[in-house]
Amino acid sequence: MKRLLPDISGVDVNMGCPKKFSVHGGMGAALMRTPDNAKSIMKALVDNFGGKISVSCKIRVLDNFDDTLKYVLDM
C-alpha cells in the first residue's frame, strides 16, 4: 500500500457488505462479528497511514442503537 500513497487520498474499509462472497471470506459485514479483528485492521491503517491519507470505515447499524454506539466507541 505504501507504493499507492502518492496516488490515493484515502482508504475506506467496507464493514457493511452483506454479499456471501465477502462474509464467507471474513470480509465485509463479517468484520462486524469480529470486533477485535476489525479494530486491529483499523488501528494498523491509522497507525501506518493516518497522518498521510484519510482512513475510514463503513459499518452496518446494529439492531440496538446502544450496541452500535458501543461498537463505534470501542474502535
Domain count, the chain: 1
Distance CA 72, CA 65 (A): 11
Q: Which of 13, 14, 16, 17 is catalytic?
A: 17
**Strand-pair partners of 60:** none
Name the pTM for this structure. Answer: 0.84
Q: What domain range is 55 assigned to?
A: 2-74
More confident residue, 75 or 25: 25
Q: What is the pLDDT of residue 4?
A: 87
The conformation of residue 57, written as its DSSP 8-state character, comes to E
AA letter at 19: K
Q: What is the pLDDT of residue 39?
A: 94
Q: What is the pLDDT of residue 3?
A: 87
Q: What is the pLDDT of residue 25?
A: 92
Say whether 57 is catalytic. no
Tell me what the mean pLDDT of segment 54-74 comes to: 93
